[in-house]
């Protein structure tokens, strides 16, 4: 066990936060940092020992590769090689969405340690929009490998408190940048040359939606789960294991109210979309607790933002089961339903 410190990245503390994090990263340590999606556990991508510490702290299996975060476009060339035939599409996507929650799968630069990519010949890269994250990356002068700062298979953390619960005693430092603005992990895409237009395969739905990407190419969802061993053939991202983002309390994603057969001796809590009486499942059962993703009118961006926070809250509420209402699968609703389905899969 090690002592885990938390440093706030508030304005008056900003410089101190940047230098404390950078100093540890330079010494080959790992540090939890805020991004606009979820908190990441960062380490210098070119330092295999630091990368190994990320896997160890998360108890992440070595077959699940990490996302690499660059602080500038020039840094992208240190970790990935952009094939000529997709160069123009990549440029357009970066202009439109970087810095932001879009991760690209690209052929890997030989300097990136195999541990980062789990031996794949591709690397997942993004540039975070978080000011503090990028400031630390810039100060370090190295790209950062940074998967979500949770233990493997668990709910991604959207606050420093949630990181603390996940990784206390396992890492030296958490930078507290407040709640994450998006609350869901980045969209992961793979780009290929298509017949008429490039094809964009969405390996993990996220804040950059299908609707936002369709101007840039023909959108495809991965056809069927594979083991991820060859993602140059649009396949599934290894993190798209069926069970992921799971609370400890069993979660039932109730697509049809008629399928609900409660055991009256058990305690059920509801994760509702709006929480409004008369809408969704609020009156289906005398729930022990009701939490609303977007109270009142129901807005998908708010639902996405609050999803992981509320899953954690319900997980801590002493329930036997969490029942989740489905949301409509348009826009951000695709990513929300993706996470709910994974949370509901039996481990
Ligand atoms: P996390 O940052 O914890 O959300 O996880 C990173 C996820 O990015 C992994 O679980 C994979 O789903 C995905 N990923 C990383 N590298 C690759 C790659 N080379 N090909 C496909 N997916 C990747
Ligand atoms: Mg993760």
**One domain, residues 156 and 289:** no
| Residue 209 within any structural domain of the chain | no
Q: State the distance between the two ends of the chain, measured CA to CA, in whole angstroms.
A: 27
| Residue 137 within any structural domain of the chain | yes
CA distances from 165 to 9, 34, 168, 242 (A): 19, 15, 6, 24
Among residues 125, 144, 176, the one where a domain terminates is 176
| Residue 188 within any structural domain of the chain | no
Task: Give exposure, 156-173, as e/b (b: 16+ Cβ within 10 Å).
Answer: bbbbbebbbbbbeebbbb
| Residue 183 within any structural domain of the chain | no
Pocket test for ligand 1, best of 57, 67, 108, 342 (most atoms within 8 A of CB): 67
CB of 185 closer than 6 A to ligand 1?
A: yes
Q: At what angle do helices 14-26 and 131-140 cross, to 10 degrees?
A: 40
**One domain, residues 67 and 152:** yes
Domain that holds residue 272: 251-343
| Residue 299 within any structural domain of the chain | yes
Closest ligand 1 atom to the C-alpha of 150?
3
Pocket test for ligand 1, best of 188, 242, 244, 246 (most atoms within 8 A of CB): 188
**One domain, residues 9 and 132:** yes
The residues, any chain, with a CB within 8 Å of residue 10's CB and separated by 6 or more, are none
Among residues 176, 201, 231, the one where a domain terminates is 176
224 pLDDT tier (thresholds 50, 70, 90): low
Residue 227: per-residue pLDDT? 47
Asked if 139 and 18 count as a contact pair (C-beta separation under 8 A), the reply is: yes
Enumerate residues with CB within 5 Å of ligand 2 (an ion): 148
CB of 148 closer than 6 A to ligand 1?
A: yes
pLDDT in tens, 47-76: 999 999 999 999 998 888 999 999 998 999
The answer to whether residue 237 scores a pLDDT higher than 90 is no
CB of 64 closer than 6 A to ligand 1?
A: yes
pLDDT (average), residues 117-122:
94
CB of 166 closer than 6 A to ligand 1?
A: no
Describe the strand order of the beta sheet including 144-145 as a list of residue ranges.
5-8, 173-176, 31-33, 40-44, 144-145, 67-69, 122-126, 102-107, 187-192, 199-204, 218-220
pLDDT in tens, 148-196: 999 998 999 999 999 999 999 999 999 999 999 999 999 999 999 988 9
**One domain, residues 169 and 261:** no
* Average pLDDT across the chain, whole number: 92
Residue 246: per-residue pLDDT? 83
CATH of the domain at 339: 3.40.50.11030
CATH of the domain at 156: 3.90.870.10
Number of domains in the chain: 2
CB of 120 closer than 6 A to ligand 1?
A: yes
Residue 1: per-residue pLDDT? 83
Percent of the chain having pLDDT more than 70? 93
**One domain, residues 55 and 170:** yes
Ligand at minimal distance from the CA of 205 is 1
**One domain, residues 309 and 170:** no
Among residues 176, 193, 222, the one where a domain terminates is 176
Residue 24: per-residue pLDDT? 98
For residue 176, the surrounding DSSP H or E stretch is strand 173-176
């Amino acid at each position: 066990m090690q002592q885990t410190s938390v440093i706030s990245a508030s304005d008056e503390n900003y410089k101190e936060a940047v230098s404390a994090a950078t100093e540890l990263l330079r010494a080959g340590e790992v540090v939890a940092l805020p991004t606009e999606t979820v908190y990441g556990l960062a380490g210098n991508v070119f330092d295999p020992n630091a990368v190994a510490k990320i896997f160890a702290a998360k108890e992440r299996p070595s077959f699940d590769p990490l996302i690499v975060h660059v602080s500038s476009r020039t840094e992208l060339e240190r970790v990935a090689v952009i094939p000529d035939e997709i160069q123009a599409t990549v440029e357009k996507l970066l202009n439109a969405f970087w810095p932001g929650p879009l991760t690209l799968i690209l052929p890997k630069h030989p300097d990136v340690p195999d541990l980062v990519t789990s031996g794949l010949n591709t690397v997942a890269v993004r540039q975070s929009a978080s000011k503090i994250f990028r400031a630390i990356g810039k100060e370090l002068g190295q790209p950062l490998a940074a998967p979500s700062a949770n233990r493997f298979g668990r709910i991604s953390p959207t606050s420093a408190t949630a990181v603390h619960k996940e990784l206390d005693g396992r890492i030296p430092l958490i930078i507290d940048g407040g709640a994450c603005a998006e609350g869901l992990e980045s969209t992961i895409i793979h780009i290929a040359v298509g017949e008429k237009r490039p094809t964009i395969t969405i390996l993990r739905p996220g804040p950059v939606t299908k609707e936002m990407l369709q101007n840039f190419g023909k959108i495809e969802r991965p056809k069927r789960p594979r083991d991820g061993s060859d993602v140059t053939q649009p396949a599934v991202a290894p993190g798209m294991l069926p069970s992921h983002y799971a609370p400890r309390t069993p979660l039932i994603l109730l697509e049809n109210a008629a399928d609900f057969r409660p055991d009256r001796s058990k305690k059920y809590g509801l994760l509702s979309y709006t929480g409004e009486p008369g809408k969704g499942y609020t009156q289906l059962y005398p729930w022990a607790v009701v939490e609303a993703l977007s109270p009142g009118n129901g807005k998908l961006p708010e639902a996405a933002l609050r999803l992981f926070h509320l899953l954690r809250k319900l997980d801590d509420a002493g329930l036997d089961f969490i029942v989740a209402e489905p949301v409509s699968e348009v826009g951000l609703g695709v990513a929300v339903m993706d996470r709910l389905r994974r949370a509901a899969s039996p481990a």
